[in-house]
């Protein structure tokens, strides 16, 4: 069957090509389409019956001449060729080289859709990753195998934050950072601009990891439909590195909103029933298929830690893409336009941020004994300080009580000293926690009820409080 070429195209639009009388094409089959210019495109069967086969074409259907389009069904699913040499290479969304070098010599190939991990096979992630960023390490700790997205908005420095994490991330062994040997990075870019792509490349180069990165790129001016397969291709590569080659893989995916918009475009073309904002009802399951590929597996040394970047259209966290992402991932790091405007770098809004796996990765033996309580106190005090701030905005700071004024001072110090650190500052978790005590000590002892009396005796700084 794979030798036969069919030219029975019935219609083509919006990335979809319908073929008549192709007997027995299997769902999910990989397809090669040759157009009248001789260029070939790759596709996949998304619906199949005896009369009509629907193919989605990842390079898009622009410029297809139905009479002069030849389609070959490869009789196998969409697979990615894999070998250790993927590291250091740049590919497009379907896994073909984009760096002008020859295709890699495959050791093996894998279905890009993967198969779901048996929940009984998972190992619960608990190893602390020190990112050197106080708002993350101190309050929203990342652990190996976690999926932790960055929620951002246009013009906010999410790329810089992602690059800083890549640059600084390390594991601690007995307080010391470990070597980089088994570390790999998979970078998946969907719909990003040329300059963003260049920013990442330069930043990987500068941090000396370029040889450890497999890059999959679909730029803003590439066909949107290719974005549908790209994250699957990239994660197939990540799974190979993590679970075949025992590497610790960090996957940075940007921007999931463009991915979802491409999905919406195709879904609308297929006539799928929309749920919210025109996105199809299966967006949740579709995103979950991607995000749930992160994690750890019992008995395997490697791991996949996933940091998707999700831009929130109009800064709206309830928009379907961030919303559904938040329902799937293990927390989120939210960037704030206000903090960015106040020159706080990175502008992490800690209150809506969350790391669900933090609780098992911190504490004695992993970070420090007081970590959980300090984090909890920072959240509580900063939340209270925000209330005081809005009160001050109404009645004026002069009218505030003395205690309230101390909350204002605390909030200032917290944002300017703890949150703000700049792109180049790599803080150890101990520095982060000490800094936390420094700012918390601006508040009266009695207000710090989430800390134990023992903590207060040991670490509260009387001087700072005066």
Partner 1 sequence: MSGQGSILDIQGPIVVAQLPNARTGEQVKLGKLGLMGEVIAREDARAIVQVYENTEGLRPGEPATALGEPLSVELGPGILGGIFDGLQRPLETMLKETGERIERGLVIPAIDSAKKWPFVPQEELKVGARIGGGAILGTVQENETITHRILVPPEVAGELIDLAPAGDYTVDEAIGRVRDRQGHIHKLHLSSRWPVRMPRPFSKRDHAVQPLITGQRIMDTFFPLLKGGKGAIPGPFGAGKTVLQQQIARWSDAQIVIYVGCGERGNELTEVLDTFPKLSDPRSGRPLMERTLLVANTSNMPVVAREVSVYVGMTIAEYFRDQGYDVVMVADSTSRWAEALREVAGRLGQLPVEEGYPAYLGSTLAAFYERAGRVETLSGGHGSVTLIGAVSPPGGDFSEPVTSHTKDIIQTFWALSKDLADARHYPSVDWLESFSLFVDTAARWWHENVSEDWLQLRNKSLRLLTEAEELNRIVNLVGVEALSSQQRWTLESARLVREGLLQQSALEPKDSFCSPEKQYLLLSLMIDIYNRGAEMLRLGMSVQELLRLPLLAKARRWKIAYASDELEGLKQEARDIVPLFDALRAEYASPTAKKPQEQEAGQ
Ligand X SMILES: Nc1ncnc2c1ncn2[C@@H]1O[C@H](COP(=O)(O)OP(=O)(O)OP(=O)(O)O)[C@@H](O)[C@H]1O
Binding-site partner at residue 25 among partner 1, ligand X, none, CB < 5 to 8 Å by type = partner 1
Binding-site partner at residue 125 among ligand X, partner 1, none, CB < 5 to 8 Å by type = partner 1
What part of residues 416-435 is at the interface with partner 1 (CB under 8 A)? none
CA gap 167, 33 in Å, rounded: 41
What part of residues 97-116 is at the interface with ligand X (CB under 6 A)? none
Q: Smaller CB distance to partner 1: residue 392 or 464?
A: 392
Residue nearest to ligand X (CB): 356
Does residue 255 contact residue 266 with C-beta atoms inside 8 Å?
Answer: no
Residues 6+ apart with CB under 8 A from 124: 296, 360
What part of residues 306-365 is at the interface with partner 1 (CB under 8 A)? 318-320, 323-324, 326-328, 330-332, 351-352, 354, 356-357, 359
What part of residues 165-224 is at the interface with partner 1 (CB under 8 A)? none
Contact region for ligand X (CB under 6 A) — 51-59, 354-362, 397-405, 456-464? 354-362
Binding-site partner at residue 118 among partner 1, ligand X, none, CB < 5 to 8 Å by type = partner 1
Q: How far is the CB of 148 from ligand X (least distance, A)?
A: 12
Select the residue interacting with partner 1 from 4, 108, 121, 458 (CB under 8 A).
121
Cα 155 off chain centre by: 18
**β-bridge partners, 31:** 43, 73
* CB atoms near residue 239 (< 10 Å): 24
| Cα dihedral 432/435/439/444 (nearest 10) | 100
Binding-site partner at residue 194 among partner 1, ligand X, none, CB < 5 to 8 Å by type = none
What part of residues 263-302 is at the interface with partner 1 (CB under 8 A)? 272-276, 280-282, 284-285, 288-289, 292-293, 295, 297-298, 300
CA distances from 82 to 110, 144, 206, 228, 238 (A): 8, 23, 26, 20, 10
Asked if omega into 255 is within 30° of 0 (cis), the reply is: yes
What part of residues 315-334 is at the interface with ligand X (CB under 6 A)? 326-327
Q: How far is the CB of 295 from ligand X (least distance, A)?
A: 16
What part of residues 255-284 is at the interface with ligand X (CB under 6 A)? none
Is 10 strand, coil or helix?
A: strand
Q: Smaller CB distance to partner 1: residue 200 or 259?
A: 259
Residue 253 structure tokens: 């995916």
Q: Smaller CB distance to partner 1: residue 227 or 293?
A: 293
CA gap 184, 290 in Å, rounded: 19
- Compute the Cα dihedral for 169, 170, 172, 175 and give only its sign: negative
- Does 450 help bind ligand X (rule: CB under 6 A)? no
Binding-site partner at residue 114 among ligand X, partner 1, none, CB < 5 to 8 Å by type = partner 1
Residue 20 structure tokens: 């008549």
Contact region for ligand X (CB under 6 A) — 33-41, 90-98, 353-361, 420-428? 353-361
Select the residue interacting with ligand X from 270, 356, 450, 461 (CB under 6 A).
356
Contact region for partner 1 (CB under 8 A) — 48-56, 154-162, 180-188, 428-436? 48-56
Does residue 290 contact residue 324 with C-beta atoms inside 8 Å?
Answer: no
Binding-site partner at residue 376 among ligand X, partner 1, none, CB < 5 to 8 Å by type = partner 1
What part of residues 361-400 is at the interface with partner 1 (CB under 8 A)? 372, 376, 379-380, 383-384, 390-391, 394-395, 399-400
- Helix H or strand E segment including 35: none
Residue 28 burial class via C-beta count within 10 angstroms: exposed 0-12, middle 13-18, buried 19 and up? middle
Binding-site partner at residue 41 among partner 1, ligand X, none, CB < 5 to 8 Å by type = none
Using alpha carbons, select from 38, 32, 44, 109 the residue that is nearest to residue 71. 32
CA distances from 240 to 102, 115, 303, 379 (A): 20, 13, 10, 39
Using alpha carbons, select from 114, 58, 61 the residue that is nearest to residue 91. 58
Q: Which residues bind ligand X (CB under 6 A)?
A: 326-327, 354, 356, 359
């Amino acid at each position: 069957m794979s030798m036969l070429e069919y030219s029975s195209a019935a219609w083509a639009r919006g990335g979809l090509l319908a073929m008549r009388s192709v007997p027995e094409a299997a769902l999910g089959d990989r397809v090669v389409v040759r157009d009248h210019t001789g260029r070939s495109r790759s596709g996949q069967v998304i619906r199949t019956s005896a009369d009509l086969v629907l193919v989605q074409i990842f390079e898009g259907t622009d410029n297809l001449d139905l009479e002069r389009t030849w389609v070959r069904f490869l009789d196998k699913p969409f697979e990615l060729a894999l070998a250790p040499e993927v590291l250091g290479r740049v590919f497009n969304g379907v896994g073909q080289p984009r760096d002008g070098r020859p295709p890699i010599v495959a050791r093996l190939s894998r279905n890009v859709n993967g198969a779901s991990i048996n929940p009984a096979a998972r190992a619960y992630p608990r190893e602390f990753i020190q990112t050197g960023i106080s708002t993350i390490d101190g309050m929203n700790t990342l652990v190996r195998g976690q999926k932790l997205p960055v929620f951002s908005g246009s013009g906010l420095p999410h790329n810089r934050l992602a690059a800083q994490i890549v640059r600084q991330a390390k594991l601690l062994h007995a307080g010391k950072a470990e070597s980089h040997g088994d570390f790999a990075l998979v970078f998946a870019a969907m719909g990003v601009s040329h300059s963003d792509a260049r920013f990442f490349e330069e930043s990987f180069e500068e941090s000396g990891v370029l040889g450890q990165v497999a890059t999959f790129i679909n730029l803003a001016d590439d066909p949107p439909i290719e974005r549908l397969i790209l994250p699957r291709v990239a994660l197939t590569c990540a799974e190979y590195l993590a679970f075949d080659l025992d590497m610790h893989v960090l996957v940075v995916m940007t921007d999931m909103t463009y991915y979802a918009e491409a999905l919406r475009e195709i879904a609308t073309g297929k006539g799928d029933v929309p749920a919210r904002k025109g996105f199809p009802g299966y967006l949740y399951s579709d995103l979950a298929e991607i995000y749930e590929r992160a994690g750890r597996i019992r008995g395997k040394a490697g791991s996949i830690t996933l940091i998707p970047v999700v831009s929130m259209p109009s800064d709206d966290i309830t928009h379907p893409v961030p919303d559904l992402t938040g329902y799937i991932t293990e927390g989120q790091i939210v960037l704030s336009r206000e903090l960015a405007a106040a020159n706080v770098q990175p502008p992490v809004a800690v209150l809506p941020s969350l790391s669900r796996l933090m609780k098992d990765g911190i504490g004695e033996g992993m970070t420090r004994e007081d970590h959980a309580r300090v984090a909890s106190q920072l959240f509580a005090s900063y939340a209270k300080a925000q209330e005081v701030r809005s009160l001050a905005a109404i009645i004026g700071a002069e009218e505030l009580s003395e205690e309230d004024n101390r909350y204002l001072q605390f909030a200032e110090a917290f944002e300017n000293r703890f949150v703000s650190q700049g792109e180049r500052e790599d803080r150890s978790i101990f520095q982060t926690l000490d800094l936390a005590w420094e700012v918390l000590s601006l508040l009266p002892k009695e207000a710090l009820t989430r800390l134990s009396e023992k903590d207060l005796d040991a670490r509260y700084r009387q001087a700072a409080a005066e």
